[in-house]
Homo-oligomer: A and B are copies of this chain.
Amino acid sequence: MGHQQVPPDDITLTRRDLQELTSRETSSLDFDLASIYVSDAQYNRNIYFDTSPQAVRLYLRYNHWLPQVLLYVFILVDLSLALFEEPAVFALPTWATMLVELLCLIVFTIRLIHYAKVIPRDKFWKDPKNICIIVILGLTMVDMIIYGALKASNCRAVRWSRVLRPLLLVNVTEGRQLRRAFRSIRNALPQIFYVFLLFMFSLLIFSLMALKLLGKRGLKTIDGAPYFTNYLEIVFDLYVLVTTANSPDVMMPAYNASTGFAIFFILYILINTYIFMSVFLAVVYNNYKKYLKEEVRQLVRAKRHKMVRAFAVLQEQREEGGEPVVSQANWNQLVRLVQPDLSNAHRELLWSVSDDTNQGCIGKVAFVQLADLLNIEVITLKSRPHPLQGVCPAFYLSAPSRLLCQLVQHRAFVIVYDLIILVNAVFIGLDEENPLISNSEWVFLALYLLEILLKLYVFEPRAFFSRHSFWNWFDTIIVVAALIATIINSAMKSSGDYTSRQILDIVFILRVLRLIRVVDSIKRFRTIINTLIRIGPAILTFGQLIIVVYYIFAMVGMEIFKGKVKFYEADSSDPAKAYCGNPSLKGTPFAQLNYCKNNFNDVVSSFVLLVELTVVNQCSGFTLVTHVSARIYFVLFHIPPFITIIVTIRPQLHIFVAFVLEAFFVEYSVEKSDLQTSLEKKIEELELAVAQEKLEDNLVNAMETIDSDQGTGQSANSKPGLMFKIASKRYRTVDALLQRMFEADLDPEDFAETDDPAAPTSGNFSNPAFSSA
């Protein structure tokens, strides 16, 4: 459930194990084992697997990307079944969804059995994750059978086990990011709770004061209802006032009665909105950071231990009594196994960083760095001449051609195209019914195409479309897609009878998206955007977390509220349309404001409604419902589930803000890590560095000085045919970002400890467990 105290997928390293490991010769199995340790360290997997040859082979297969992707695909299929099940968005017969669900269950069972074969039996049964999955699978089976039987006998049946589905996301082995997020939130809750209590206390005191001061004055709200006479209503009104959603309205009757009451409300907002919310954020931020730091500390410690184990497998004694080392040959074979897609040159670069003194072998300390080194993304740039130069050198190297290249690479070229984009923005904003405007679209498309073709003429195509040229890819895809969509649209239009709204929408979206390109030309904007892109994967963890919570609430909400509120299309003439098909809503603001589509009638509507409830300052829109007639609110929404939603989701938003704050600080301001610096230094030492400006401004000129392609560039000391560049501060994994976030705060002693990995105290490294005191 993500709530277990100690996730027991840990590795215990005994002294006996180690001796056994070191006494053997390095075989193929040893390499498999070592590569597993390294890749576990690289991706922070904490799985206690059997070291028997068979289990190691199975474990390798378990960690293969294909079954992992398949697992997530099936979880996605399982989750999206809610679209087809009753109440359905697209109705499918019950037997079809049941069959698909059964297939999913089988896949999950197979995956679990695979996992059970990999780790020792006793570890398997001690792990709450596995128990959870088994329970979920069992309960789902039971529910399906009951549901099927009830349906067959035409009874009313509830598919209650659907609530359990998102829990699979948390409990699969790969969900460790999500589990960590849940743990951090749970650990930060007690502290947050005290601030919340104090805030509630302040709210209650203020409400009491409002009741005594204003209740007896016979004031009326704008609707003519008595003002501030019911304590519970006052509490609710003032609670909403904290979010400032009903701000002037709730104050106006008192303010109209006497100016002095404004002081009460201003004081209230100052204390409860500004001071308390700041303190709330401060406490959330502080606690979340504290626990996350502890988690990361444990993570780093576990990583070092795994690297030490890998070292123990491959180590050899060069001279009697000397320190054990790993030879370059073994190291090469290991890295090849761990990351087969690494180029030889890149591998050699990493080796030269590790073996700084050029001894042909590395000790334990240097070896342990490997996991972090592999996580630094190094861009390998092969300097190739432009293909046109090969095909027709006389033309490509002629003076006009070179002038064109210089023009395209000039700063003015960028500025001209930025201006074109701005003009385009104005044209988009104008009415496209005008033939001049609609024809101008072709001109702009041609201009954008020309830009891409010019760039392709100037820059080497493979460099232009390299994996890290985000904006080049973005441009090309948007322009080509817009071209295709516009052509289709024109074809349909000229065929006369039908203009597809969908196609037109796509054309519009693509046109507007093109404008985003301007951002890349302004350096400060680029910094901010790049920072956001880099912390993106970490934010996605929160996305999963939100989906888990939403899904559970949506399932429960659908079972309770489905059909209570009905939505009628705009052209419907049903009289029930005026009150959303529910007579008790007659004349209420809910119906008047046309909120009928905010219902729980299918999973998509439920999600939208939940998002609204999260986003909308708790309830502003929906308080309009309560405000006038609390009755309707209770009838419709049965307040408790909604209070639960708010209380559950709100802290997450705060934690989200806290996380973005922290990640942004690190990304935005901090320099590179020590390891990255040493890698960069080595790259420069070997004269393989690509100057940033060179790369961007005159890649062609730089390449022209290199006479011909040097092949794969095996020897790094020859004239460089290969160039390296560290992908600035990009991380391969979210964990690497986390580690980076707390690097300054992490105790150096934690790393020193790895020198004695077999010591009983440090041998057992579990994920962190905090006492909830």
Residues of A within 8 A of B (CB): 194-195, 197-198, 201, 205, 208-209, 211-213, 222, 231, 244-245, 247-249, 251-253, 255-257, 259, 262, 266, 269, 273-275, 277-279, 281-283, 285-286, 425, 428-429, 505, 508-509, 511-512, 515-516, 518-519, 524-525, 528-529, 532, 539, 567, 570, 592-598, 604-605, 608, 611-612, 615-617, 620-622, 653, 656-657, 660-661, 664-665, 668-669
Nearest CB of B to A428, in Å: 6
Give complex CA distance A621, B249 in Å: 7
Give complex CA distance A539, B270 in Å: 11
Residue of B nearest to A89 (CB): B259
A617 with B212, Cβ < 8 A, contacts A279-B660, A567-B256 known:
no
Residue of B nearest to A190 (CB): B524
Interface pair B282/A668, CB less than 8 Å apart: yes
Give complex CA distance A278, B605 in Å: 28
| Cβ contact of A247, chosen from B212, B592, B616, B669, cutoff 8 A | B616
A209 with B660, Cβ < 8 A, contacts A247-B621, A528-B195 known:
no
| Cβ contact of A620, chosen from B244, B255, B519, cutoff 8 A | B244
Interface pair B509/A608, CB less than 8 Å apart: no
Residue of B nearest to A433 (CB): B216
Give complex CA distance A519, B274 in Å: 20
Interface pair A656/B279, CB less than 8 Å apart: no
Residues of B within 8 A of A257 (CB): 570
Give complex CA distance A285, B668 in Å: 12
| Cβ contact of A274, chosen from B282, B515, B593, B653, cutoff 8 A | B653
Interface pair A515/B255, CB less than 8 Å apart: no
Give complex CA distance A665, B212 in Å: 37
A615 with B567, Cβ < 8 A, contacts A201-B519, A597-B256 known:
no
Residues of B within 8 A of A598 (CB): 248
Q: Among A197, A425, A597, which residue has the most Cβ atoms of chain B within 10 A?
A: A597
Residues of B within 8 A of A516 (CB): 205
Give complex CA distance A256, B597 in Å: 6
Residues of B within 8 A of A252 (CB): 593-595, 597
Residues of B within 8 A of A247 (CB): 612, 615-617, 620-621
Interface pair A286/B669, CB less than 8 Å apart: yes
Give complex CA distance A515, B202 in Å: 10
Nearest CB of B to A244, in Å: 5
Interface pair B608/A198, CB less than 8 Å apart: no
Q: Among A248, A249, A505, A622, which residue has the most Cβ atoms of chain B within 10 A?
A: A248
| Cβ contact of A621, chosen from B248, B518, B608, B611, cutoff 8 A | B248
Interface pair A278/B657, CB less than 8 Å apart: yes
Residue of B nearest to A277 (CB): B657
Residue of B nearest to A621 (CB): B248
Nearest CB of B to A592, in Å: 8
Closest 4 CB pairs of A and B: A212-B508, A278-B660, A248-B621, A247-B616
List, sorted by A's number, 21 A–B pairs whose CB atoms are closer than 8 Å: A198-B525, A201-B518, A205-B515, A208-B429, A209-B508, A209-B512, A212-B511, A213-B508, A247-B612, A248-B593, A248-B616, A252-B593, A252-B597, A256-B596, A259-B608, A262-B608, A275-B532, A275-B539, A281-B661, A282-B665, A617-B617
Interface pair B594/A660, CB less than 8 Å apart: no
Give complex CA distance A567, B620 in Å: 27
Give complex CA distance A620, B245 in Å: 7
Nearest CB of B to A642, in Å: 14
- Chain A, interface SS category: helix
Residues of B within 8 A of A211 (CB): 429
Interface pair B248/A245, CB less than 8 Å apart: no
Interface pair A282/B594, CB less than 8 Å apart: no
Nearest CB of B to A701, in Å: 31
Residues of B within 8 A of A532 (CB): 275, 279
Give complex CA distance A115, B457 in Å: 72
Give complex CA distance A152, B626 in Å: 57
Residues of B within 8 A of A616 (CB): 244, 247-248
Interface pair B515/A604, CB less than 8 Å apart: no
Interface pair A512/B205, CB less than 8 Å apart: yes
Interface pair B282/A231, CB less than 8 Å apart: no
Give complex CA distance A621, B286 in Å: 34
Give complex CA distance A273, B660 in Å: 13
Nearest CB of B to A61, in Å: 38
| Cβ contact of A286, chosen from B201, B253, B269, B668, cutoff 8 A | B668
Residues of B within 8 A of A622 (CB): 248
Residues of B within 8 A of A213 (CB): 505, 508-509
Interface pair A248/B612, CB less than 8 Å apart: yes
Residue of B nearest to A622 (CB): B248
Residue of B nearest to A253 (CB): B594
Nearest CB of B to A194, in Å: 5
Residues of B within 8 A of A567 (CB): 256
Nearest CB of B to A323, in Å: 37
Residue of B nearest to A608 (CB): B262
Give complex CA distance A657, B596 in Å: 38
Give complex CA distance A218, B657 in Å: 38
Interface pair A286/B248, CB less than 8 Å apart: no
Give complex CA distance A207, B524 in Å: 23
Residue of B nearest to A274 (CB): B656
Residues of B within 8 A of A251 (CB): 612
Interface pair B212/A428, CB less than 8 Å apart: yes
Residues of B within 8 A of A664 (CB): 278-279, 282-283, 286
Residues of B within 8 A of A259 (CB): 597, 604-605, 608
Give complex CA distance A253, B570 in Å: 10
| Cβ contact of A282, chosen from B428, B511, B660, cutoff 8 A | B660
| Cβ contact of A256, chosen from B222, B592, B594, cutoff 8 A | B594
Residue of B nearest to A531 (CB): B279
Residues of B within 8 A of A198 (CB): 519, 525, 528-529
Give complex CA distance A283, B275 in Å: 20
Q: A198-B519, A209-B508, A213-B505 are in contact. List 17 more A-B contacts (CB 8 A).
A: A198-B529, A201-B518, A208-B425, A208-B429, A231-B429, A245-B620, A249-B621, A256-B594, A257-B570, A259-B604, A269-B615, A277-B657, A278-B660, A278-B661, A282-B668, A286-B664, A620-B620
Residues of B within 8 A of A653 (CB): 274
Give complex CA distance A661, B525 in Å: 27
Residues of B within 8 A of A509 (CB): 209, 212-213
A528 with B660, Cβ < 8 A, contacts A212-B428, A595-B252, A617-B617 known:
no
Nearest CB of B to A58, in Å: 41
